[in-house]
Structure 1
Amino acid sequence: MTSPTILNNFLWQGLAEGDSAYYYGTFTFLAPENGLSPLIRIPKNRALARPVASSPEFGTLVWFSKGFWNVVERPDGRLQFNDLRFGSLSGDFSNPSDFVFKFVFEPAPDGWVVHQTREGSRIDAAAFREFFERVRGQRPLAEE
């Protein structure tokens, strides 16, 4: 899957699927000499999804994400479903709160309650500056 990143048509992102992980990279047309950013490995963690996989909410999220998703366990132990098509705020996918489009599963008496969460990294002047440095090819994503 390839698509432009938010707010521009110069920094593109690519997401490729492997057996147990996705691989994410970016390319900016403003500095083609820098080539592709180093690829970042994003584990699928399909086994973590087993407790919620039979819920209708999970099926809807898988459908909505067009198959580009993973599940992570949050520090509080809850499961988080991430739609990977929208990337991460920092671009490195290292922190559960860094994913742009994320949903948290909470146990309920009759199954699961799912809600979208917007908690995470702040989008402030420094975050915009880093993003536009990536657009201009001045700040590649960090290697793993």
Structure 2
Amino acid sequence: MHRTFEEALQEQGRSDNRFFITPTIFNNLLWNAVVDSGDEFLLAQYSILDEVPIAFHPVSKGYDELHNLETDETLGVLRWFSAGYFNAVRREDGSLQLNDLRFGTFSGRAEDADDYIFRFKLRDHGLTEPYGFEVAQGGPPEETAEEMMMDLFNRARGLSPEDSPS
């Protein structure tokens, strides 16, 4: 699988980027990739049953949302835990969420804050105090869990040219 993603990156002129791949939950048909392309991350999903090329989707790192990124103790632990494959997003309620991108997203495109599979909700205590964080969240919100899991399993069945996402 590593070679499959590596070749797709080379075909798209991104062969010098650091990347991480892992199977999605509950299967080994559908794989996630996260690529560190410098200013942003690229996310992709690939099923061994796909009939179309791998599509990489840009995702903001969101580091401008964070203060003291290099010195904050909590962010340092989360950066270490995620091996540097993390981003920050602002949730609809205004709170800040850090996502471990190695676990991917349900859609493969990071459509919203709930799409990330493994996430931490940060508590901002101000510029001079380290962030706090709530218990790690994983999986879809309860109200959309069934639909999101069905979408993930359907995606594992592969894409044909007719149903390839843009």
TM-score of Structure 1 vs Structure 2, range by shorter chain: 0.7 to 0.9
Of 2-11 and 48-57, deviating more is 48-57
Aligned to 2:52: 34
Aligned to 1:130: 151
Of 114-123 and 12-21, deviating more is 114-123
Distance change in 2, residues 1:103/1:53 (3 Å): farther
Aligned to 2:165: 142
Contact 2:105 / 2:117 at 8 angstroms: preserved in 1?
yes
Contact 2:30 / 2:155 at 8 angstroms: preserved in 1?
yes
Contact 1:52 / 1:112 at 8 angstroms: preserved in 2?
no
- In structure 1, the gaps of 5 or more residues are none
Query: Shift of the alpha carbon at 1:78?
Result: 1.8
Of 82-91 and 103-112, deviating more is 103-112
Contact 2:73 / 2:130 at 8 angstroms: preserved in 1?
no
Q: How far apart, in 2, do the equivalents of 1:127 and 1:103 lie?
A: 19
Q: How far apart, in 2, do the equivalents of 1:101 and 1:92 lie?
A: 14
Q: Which amino acid aligns with 1:42?
A: V
How large is the Cα RMSD of the aligned pairs? 2.4
Tell me the TM-score normalized by structure 1: 0.82
Count of paired positions:
140
Aligned to 1:117: 137
State, as a whole percentage, how many aligned pairs show the same letter: 27
* Residue from 98, 112, 116 that aligns with 1:81: 98
Question: Is the counterpart of residue 44 in structure 1 residue 64 in structure 2?
Answer: no
- In structure 2, the gaps of 5 or more residues are 1-19
Tell me the TM-score normalized by structure 2: 0.72
Deviation track 1:91-126 (CA, whole Å, cap 9, x = no partner) reads 3212112211111121348543211235854321x3
Of 48-57 and 13-22, deviating more is 48-57
Q: How far apart, in 2, do the equivalents of 1:60 and 1:14 lie?
A: 22
Q: How far apart, in 2, do the equivalents of 1:78 and 1:129 lie?
A: 28
Q: Which structure features the higher share of helix residues?
A: 2
Runs of at least 4 residues off by over 6 Å? none
Query: Shift of the alpha carbon at 1:85?
Result: 0.6
Query: Shift of the alpha carbon at 1:57?
Result: 1.4
